[in-house]
């Protein structure tokens, strides 16, 4: 089995299906490009929390603050020229409209990215079905992973970045936004904004340990920890 296998399909014209049905017609099993071999079992499947994705990867809050500063500066400049407040506010309508459109677009991209993403953990691999315009399925065998890193946010949500063996690489642009930040030369595929990150981290740790024949330890979340350890998931 190859360490990384990419399979593509068209991402347009698909919709979320009811439980038990497939979202993509080409999928023999939900979230997977092909049926699992006999004896392999799905341990977990999930998708990103789109609201957290909008904040952490599409930077909706930062963009909102940026536009708020621009609007306040514009109003202040107009009023300093002697324009009444009502007229100054009217003078920011175009900029305000652009801000609304930009924020709406970023929010939609976050929502649709989450909608078209499925992460699957089996007892042998991690499969990432990602992509909006073009669907890509990444097959990441656990035996080809050095370890992983867990980053927790509020409410138990978090990211899990996967460290592949040297030589196993995926282009950063193919992964984005499902990649650890600033890791361009040795990219780390990342399960983003998981609502139950701690539980998924523990399952991944146990599956990794079983594949490598080592004893699994609990995946702890400690502020300030960094790096990638195996079989225990490090926090970052």
User: In terms of domains, do 157 and 206 share one?
Assistant: yes
User: Per residue in 105-128, pLDDT tens?
Assistant: 999 999 999 999 999 999 999 999
**Confidence at residue 25, expressed as pLDDT on a 0 to 100 scale:** 55
74 and 155 housed in the same domain = no
**192 falls within a domain:** yes
| Residue 72 covered by a domain | yes
Give the DSSP H/E element, type plus range, for residue 215: none
Is residue 129 a part of any domain in this protein?
no
The model's pTM: 0.81
Mean pLDDT across the stretch 76-81? 90
Indicate the average pLDDT of the chain: 83
Q: Is the pLDDT of residue 236 over 80?
A: no
Does one domain contain both 101 and 161?
A: no
Any domain includes 26: no
Q: Tell me, yes or no, whether 147 lies in a domain.
A: yes
Q: 201, 133 in Cβ contact below 8 A?
A: no
Largest Cα separation within the chain, whole Å, is: 77
Summarize the confidence of residues 203-224 as an average pLDDT. 70
Residue 46 lies in a domain: no
DSSP code at position 156: G
pLDDT at 7: 52
Domain check: are 225 and 147 in the same one?
A: yes
Is residue 9's pLDDT more than 80?
A: no
Whether residue 16 has pLDDT greater than 50: no
Q: Which domain holds residue 64?
A: 54-112
| 124 neighbors 40 (Cβ within 8 angstroms) | yes
DSSP 18: P
Residues 96 and 150 in one domain: no
Q: Is residue 40 part of a domain?
A: no
Domain count for the chain, please give it: 2
How many Å apart are CA 158 and CA 191, to the nearest integer?
A: 8
């Amino acid at each position: 089995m190859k360490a990384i296998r990419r399979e593509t399909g068209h991402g347009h014209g698909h919709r979320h299906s009811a439980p038990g049905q497939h979202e993509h017609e080409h999928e023999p099993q939900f979230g997977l490009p092909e049926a699992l071999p006999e004896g392999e079992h799905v341990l977990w499947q999930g998708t990103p929390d789109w609201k957290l994705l909008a904040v952490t990867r599409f930077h909706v809050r930062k963009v909102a603050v940026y536009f708020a500063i621009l609007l306040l500066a514009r109003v202040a400049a107009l009023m300093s020229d002697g324009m009444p407040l009502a007229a100054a506010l009217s003078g920011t309508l175009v900029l305000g409209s652009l801000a609304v459109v930009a924020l709406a677009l970023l929010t939609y991209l976050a929502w649709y990215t989450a909608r078209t993403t499925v992460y699957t953990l089996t007892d042998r691999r991690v499969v990432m079905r990602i992509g909006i315009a073009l669907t890509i399925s990444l097959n990441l065998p656990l035996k080809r992973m050095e370890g992983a890193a867990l980053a927790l946010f509020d409410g138990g949500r978090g990211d899990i970045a996967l460290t592949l063996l040297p030589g196993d690489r995926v282009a950063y642009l193919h992964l984005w936004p499902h990649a650890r930040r600033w890791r361009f030369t040795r990219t780390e595929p990342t399960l983003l904004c998981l609502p139950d990150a701690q539980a998924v981290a523990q399952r991944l740790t146990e599956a990794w340990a079983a594949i490598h024949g080592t004893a699994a330890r609990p995946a702890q979340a400690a502020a300030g920890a960094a790096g990638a350890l195996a079989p225990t998931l490090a926090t970052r």
